[in-house]
Chain A
Amino acid sequence: MSANVAAAAKAAPSPDDKSAISVRDMRKCFGDHEVLKGISLEAHKGDVISILGSSGSGKSTMLRCINLLETPDSGEVRVDGELIRMKQGRDGRQMPADIRQVERIRANLAMVFQSFNLWSHMTVLENLVAAPTHVLKRPRAECLEQAEALLKRVGIWERRNYYPPHMSGGQQQRAAIARALAMNPKVMLFDEPTSALDPELVGEVLRVMRSLAEEGRTMLVVTHEMSFARDVSSKVMFLHKGEVDSVGEPKEMFARPPTPQFKQFIANFNK
C-alpha cells in the first residue's frame, strides 16, 4: 500500500450533505484474481472525476461496483449519503440486502457504456422515454417533451425516429448520453464512453460531456482521454493494479506526477 492510498482514505470524510458518492475500502475478486484491493473514493456534488489507469487496473470494475452491476466482495458504497445495504448470501458472498433499494439508487446513477448498449429494438426516442416512464413513473407526454429537448441538445434530434443500428457510433453514444440525462440523475457514470468510437467521432461525444461538466453535473468518468482528464475534470484518480495510486488536481497531477507509476502512464500516452 502506497502512502497515497492512506491519503485517499483520509480524503474520504464521513458522508455529509455535499457527498454524492462515497466508496470505502471496496474489494472485488474474480476467481483468484483480486481486481480491486480496497478502493476508496469521495465524490462531492458537482465533481467531475476522471478515473485513469491502464487496462486491468480495475477502473471499469470499480464503476460497475458502484451501481452494483458487479457485486463488490466487501466495502461500503454510499450514494447521496445513503448506504447500499448488503447481506451475506448463502454462498458466503456479499449480496444486496434489498434489491428495491438498489433499483432506486441505480435510477439516480445513470450510466453511459463503452458500447452504448442502446436498446436496439426501440427508436432513439423510445430509448429515452423507456426508463423515465417505467422506472420513475413519469407521464409519457412530459417524458417525450423532455426527450426531444435532450436530443436537440446533443444534436441528433433529426434522428429521433431512427433505430440505434442505423446511426454512427458517435450518434449512438450521444443518444446514450441523452438517455442517461432523461433520468435527471444525481450522478452520471461514464464507462470509457469514447473507447469504441472511430477517432474522428470522439470529438462530438467529448463536446457533449464537456458541456455537462460545465453545467455542474456530478460525473465519474473512466476514460483514456487525457485532454478531458486534464482540462475538464475537477479531480483525477489514477488506479494501478487495483489500488488507488494517486488522486489530485488535474493540472497539478499532470504537471508534477506524484508517483512513478503515474509518470510512466502519462509518458506512454505522450509517445
Chain B
Amino acid sequence: MAFDFYLSTMWSVLKALPLTLEIWFFGIAFGLVIATGLTWLRASGSKLGEYFTRAYVFIFRGSPLLVQLYLIYFGLSQFDFVRHSPILWPILRDPMYCTIVAMALNTAAYESEIFRGALRAVPVGQIEAAKAFGMSAFTRFRLVTLPIALRLALPAYSTEIILMTKATALASVVTIMEMMGTAQKIQHDTFRPIEVLTCAGVIYLLLNLSIARLFAWVEYRLSPHLRPPPEQSQQIRPVPEVL
C-alpha cells in the first residue's frame, strides 16, 4: 500500500520534471546572457557601467528571489503601461515567463560576480605574454583570458546552477505545476506530507547529483594541466575518480 503510494507519487512528480527543466534551462540560459553583458559592462572600464552593475548586483543579490518573483508577477501588472504594452504584457501576465525572468535576473547578479572574479584571477603574466607576442586584444581574450577564466569560474558556476535548480521550486507559488507544485497538490489531496515531500526531495537530489557530475566531468576534461603529469597519472591513478 505504502509502496504503491510512493510509486504513484513518484510517477506524478516525475511527469512534472520536464516543466521544471524548462524553467531551469531558460532561466540559466537568459541569466547567462545577462551575466555576460553585466560582466562586459563591469570590465569595460566605464564608470557608468561600473555603477550600474554594482547597483544591479546589490539589488538582485541582496533581496530574496521570492520577493523579486512576487514583484514581477503581482507587482508589475499594477502599472497601466505594463498592461497596455504589446511587448511587456504577453510576457508579464504569464506566470511561467515571470518565473523565468525573475530567475534570469537573479542568477545574472551572482554569475556576473563569479565571472568578474574569474577574469581578475587570470595570471597577469600569461596575458602579458600574449601581448608581447603581438596578439590583438580580441585574440588575447579568445586564446588566453577566456579559456583560463572559464576554468576558474566553473566550480562556482556549477554551484550557482545547482542553486537555480532548487530555486525552480519557487515557481509553485505563482501557480505553476512543476515538481514542487505537483507535490504540494498531492499533499493537499492526501494529507501524506512525508511520503510526498520525500519523493520530491529525492528527485531534486538525483537531478542535482547528475548536474554536479556533469560539471565535474567538464571540469576534468578542461583541466588536464592541473592534474598530475601523464606518466605519473598512469601509474598512480589509472581511472579518473570523477565519473
Residues of A in contact with B (beta carbons under 8 Å apart): 67, 69, 99-100, 103-111, 113, 115, 117-121, 130-131, 134-135, 161-167, 179, 183, 189
Task: Say yes or no: B128 contacts A103, CB within 8 Å.
Answer: no
Cβ contact of B126, chosen from A110, A119, A162, cutoff 8 A: A119
Interchain Cβ contacts under 8 Å between A and B, 11 examples:
A107-B133, A113-B128, A113-B129, A115-B125, A117-B123, A119-B130, A120-B225, A121-B148, A121-B222, A131-B135, A135-B134
Q: Which residues of A contact B18 (CB under 8 A)?
A: none
Docked pose: A170 CA to B141 CA in angstroms: 28
Docked pose: A161 CA to B224 CA in angstroms: 11
Task: Say yes or no: B133 contacts A183, CB within 8 Å.
Answer: yes
Q: Can you add 6 more A-B contacts, CB < 8 Å, to A115-B125, A130-B133?
A: A69-B132, A107-B134, A113-B129, A117-B126, A119-B148, A121-B151
Q: Which residues of B contact A131 (CB under 8 A)?
A: 130, 133-135
Report, nearest first, the 5 A-B pairs whose CB atoms are least far apart. A107-B134, A163-B225, A166-B229, A117-B129, A131-B133
Task: Say yes or no: A110 contacts B132, CB within 8 Å.
Answer: yes
Docked pose: A115 CA to B125 CA in angstroms: 8
Closest residue of A by beta carbon distance from B228: A166
Q: Identify which of B132, B222, B224, B229 gathers the most chain A CB atoms within 10 Å of its CB.
A: B132
- Secondary structure class of chain B's binding surface, majority of residues: helix
Task: Say yes or no: B229 contacts A162, CB within 8 Å.
Answer: yes
With A67-B132, A107-B134, A166-B230 as known contacts, state yes or no: A121 contacts B225, CB within 8 Å. Answer: yes
Task: Say yes or no: A106 contacts B226, CB within 8 Å.
Answer: no
Q: Which residues of B contact A120 (CB under 8 A)?
A: 123, 126, 148, 225
Docked pose: A122 CA to B150 CA in angstroms: 14
Give min CB distance, A131 to chain B, whole Å.
Answer: 4
Task: Say yes or no: A110 contacts B128, CB within 8 Å.
Answer: no
Residues of B in contact with A (beta carbons under 8 Å apart): 123, 125-126, 128-137, 139, 143-144, 147-148, 151, 222, 224-226, 228-230
Give min CB distance, A22 to chain B, whole Å.
Answer: 20
Q: Which residues of A contact B224 (CB under 8 A)?
A: 163
With A134-B139, A135-B139 as known contacts, state yes or no: A121 contacts B133, CB within 8 Å. Answer: no
Task: Say yes or no: A121 contacts B230, CB within 8 Å.
Answer: no
Closest residue of A by beta carbon distance from B124: A117
Q: Which residues of A contact B129 (CB under 8 A)?
A: 111, 113, 117-119
Docked pose: A113 CA to B133 CA in angstroms: 12
Cβ contact of A135, chosen from B133, B226, B228, B230, cutoff 8 A: B133
Q: Which residues of B contact A162 (CB under 8 A)?
A: 229-230
Closest residue of A by beta carbon distance from B150: A121
Give min CB distance, A165 to chain B, whole Å.
Answer: 5
Q: Which residues of B contact A164 (CB under 8 A)?
A: 225
Docked pose: A154 CA to B203 CA in angstroms: 56
Task: Say yes or no: A111 contacts B148, CB within 8 Å.
Answer: no
Q: Which residues of B contact A67 (CB under 8 A)?
A: 132
Task: Say yes or no: A69 contacts B131, CB within 8 Å.
Answer: yes
Cβ contact of A165, chosen from B130, B136, B225, cutoff 8 A: B225
Q: Which residues of A contact B133 (CB under 8 A)?
A: 106-107, 110-111, 130-131, 135, 179, 183
Q: Which residues of B contact A167 (CB under 8 A)?
A: 229
Closest residue of B by beta carbon distance from A106: B134
Give min CB distance, B178 to chain A, whole Å.
Answer: 38
Q: Which residues of B contact A183 (CB under 8 A)?
A: 133-134
Q: Which residues of A contact B132 (CB under 8 A)?
A: 67, 69, 106, 109-111, 113, 189
Q: Which residues of B contact A99 (CB under 8 A)?
A: 136-137
Docked pose: A109 CA to B129 CA in angstroms: 12
Task: Say yes or no: B125 contacts A117, CB within 8 Å.
Answer: yes
Docked pose: A165 CA to B148 CA in angstroms: 14
Q: Which residues of A contact B135 (CB under 8 A)?
A: 103, 131, 134-135
Task: Say yes or no: A165 contacts B226, CB within 8 Å.
Answer: yes
Q: Which residues of B contact A115 (CB under 8 A)?
A: 125
Docked pose: A156 CA to B56 CA in angstroms: 50
Q: Which residues of B contact A161 (CB under 8 A)?
A: 230
Docked pose: A164 CA to B222 CA in angstroms: 15
Give min CB distance, B133 to chain A, whole Å.
Answer: 4
Docked pose: A67 CA to B143 CA in angstroms: 20
Give min CB distance, A150 to chain B, whole Å.
Answer: 15
Task: Say yes or no: A103 contacts B134, CB within 8 Å.
Answer: yes
Give min CB distance, B123 to chain A, whole Å.
Answer: 8
Docked pose: A165 CA to B227 CA in angstroms: 9
Closest residue of A by beta carbon distance from B137: A99
